[in-house]
Every structure is written in C-alpha cells, then in structure tokens.
Amino acid sequence: MTRHFLANDDLSAAEQARALDLAAELAADPYAYRPFDGPRSVAIISDKPTLRTQLSFQVGIADLGGNAVMVDGNLAGIGTRESIPDSARVLGRQVAQIVWRTGAHERIEELATHAGVPVINALTDAHHPCQVLADLLTLAQHRGDGSAASLRGIRMTYLGDGGNNMAHSYALACALAGMRLAIAAPEGYHPDPDILVRAQAIAAETGGAVSVTDEPGAHGADAVVTDTWLSMGQDGAEERARVFSPYAVTAELMAQAPDAVALHCLPAYRGKEIAAEVLDGPRSLVWDEAANRRPAQKAIMIMLDEWAGEQ
C-alpha cells in the first residue's frame, strides 16, 4: 500500500525517530542519498503563497537526483476546473511523488486516495507536518545531542492560536517524540478535540505529555514557540490581535524561561505575536528552522520512496 505524509501521526514514534535521525545525517551530508537519480520527477503544487516550502522542496529534490516540477495550483484548478480524483490520476502517471500546499485538509486526503504515488502535505489548514519535523530536528541539534532520542522529555510551550495547523502538528509530533508540550491559547482557540485526544493517547505510550491552558506563560520551558495570529485566508485581524495579544512572545515572557530557545515557522510579524528582540535575539533558532526544512523533507521523501518500492 502506498504511504503518504499528510499528518505527523502518519508515522509511528519509531518512524519519526528514523526520519529525524536521517534528516540529521542529510544536514551533515546533503548528497548522501540519490533515490531520484534518472532523474525521476516530483510535482510541487502550490495553491497558496510560498517561499520556504517551494525553495526547500525544489532544492531538496535536486539534491536527491530528481527533477522538481512546479505546478501553479490556481491555474491547474484542482478540485474546481477538474475533480481532485481526476487530477490525482493524471499527476500519478507522471511523477514519483506529489507535494501539495493547499487549504482544506480533506482535499489532500482525497488526492492521496487516488494518486497511486506518495503524497506529502506541504501545508493544509489543519496540519503542517514538514515544518514541525524541521523544528524538532532543530531542537534536537540545539537542546539535545542531535539525535531523535535526545528530544525525549524536552518541555515546549506553544503560545497563540491553539487551533491552527502548527499547534495541531506540534501536538502530534511532540507526543511521538516523548516531549512535554503545553499549548497556551485563549478559550475558543484550543486544538481540535479529535487531534488533541489522539496526541494525548500517543503521549501516554511514549512517556510524553500534551496539555492545554488558557493562561499565557512559559515557566519551565526549554523551547517557546509561536505562529502568526492571522494565517493565510483568515479574516478578523483586529479581533484576533486583541484576543491573542496576552500570548505574545516578548522578552518579559522569555524571562520566565531563561534557558529556553525561541521558535517561529515564519513569516513573522515583529511586535505582534513575537517581539523583534526575541526573533532577532541570541536565543532565536528561526533561521535554523528554515534551513532544516530541506533535510527534514528529504528524509520523508526517501522513506516514502523506500516504502513505495516495497509494494
């Protein structure tokens, strides 16, 4: 059966650990694996604006010996001009894997059902698994010994919109890694209950923990993370700024966790969800996060290709 990476819990705890260790190897030696030599092609479809996603996948596919084919999702009209199943069958006959950055998560699930080749989620409204895999690699490098095993027990605090794709992906990935995640978000912006239950069930097996609170704060955290208060396609900027302002990652909040590093997936808005002195300060790992998109995604592409070859 063809496997996909649509959400972090598409991997088991052991598989995520292998992906992170492989990513660390690829960060040190970018050209160690060439599964797409030929070259074989991978389609990168973007329905939304993109910089890090397109760049890191495009360069990463070249590193793996492959050919990246850029597809403008709005011109292709997947699910509008042509049905998602029909588009999936056409794409699957041309490329070895499909990377899609889109909106509703159900769209990528439908594409994966019909593509016949591995599909990778490069962002949906519900999940952003590649970004969070890169973030865990970054934490392993800076707060551990570089290995996935060293993530176990690390305490992360996420502040802001607990119901967005980043919070959901942190909940699942941190649980798989045996980390202890606290999501601080206002009432009405808590994680999807089904995802939270799934994350807490995983954490119970790995020795991690996932909790949710309305209280902003970062006491005891090893890592503090936030995301933009207004994701692509959302309305109500003024109201969201009012609701989320107590959850901003400021220097005062970082003082509650003097040894913590700061993470942000970018794009960041200085003076809103994160202060400039934090984002640009010595404890910020945001540029390493951006760089680590490439090895993390390459690890996923290698593993999916291996599994596809075992059919």
Name the 3-class secondary structure at 119: strand
Does 311 qualify as catalytic in the annotation?
no
Instruction: Tell me how far apart the alpha carbons of residues 146 and 139 are, in angstroms, rounded to a whole number.
Output: 8
Annotated catalytic residue, options 4, 240, 293, 294: 293
141 is catalytic: no
* The one-letter amino acid at 170: Y
Structure-block tokens of residue 159:
């502040």
Q: For residue 155, give the DSSP letter.
A: E
Backbone torsions φ then ψ of 268, nearest 5 degrees: -110, 150
The CA-CA-CA angle for residues 198, 125, 304, to 5°, reads 70
The pair phi, psi for residue 137, each rounded to 5°, is: -60, -45
Annotated catalytic, 265? Answer: yes
Judge whether 130 counts as a catalytic residue. no
The neighbouring-strand residues paired with 159 are 184, 226
* Active-site option among 3, 52, 127, 128: 128
Element of type H or E holding 61 = helix 52-63
Catalytic pick among 4, 52, 101, 107: 101
Nearest to 256 by CA among 155, 138, 187: 155
| Rounded-to-integer distance, Cα 154 and Cα 259, Å | 12
Check if the beta carbon of residue 155 is closer than 8 Å to that of residue 223: yes
SS3 state of residue 158? strand
Q: Which of 87, 85, 1, 42 is nearest to 300 (CA)?
A: 42
Catalytic residue among 10, 105, 168, 265: 265
DSSP state for residue 146 in the 8-state scheme: S
Is 174 marked active-site? no
* Dihedral class, residue 180 (left if φ above 0, else alpha if ψ from -120 to 50, else beta): beta
Which of 97, 28, 30, 38 is CA-nearest to residue 65?
38
Among the listed residues 161, 227, 288, 305, the single catalytic one is: 227
16 is a catalytic site residue: no
Q: Residues 97, 118: contact at Cβ < 8 Å?
A: yes
- By annotation, the residues acting in catalysis are 101, 128, 131, 227, 265, 293
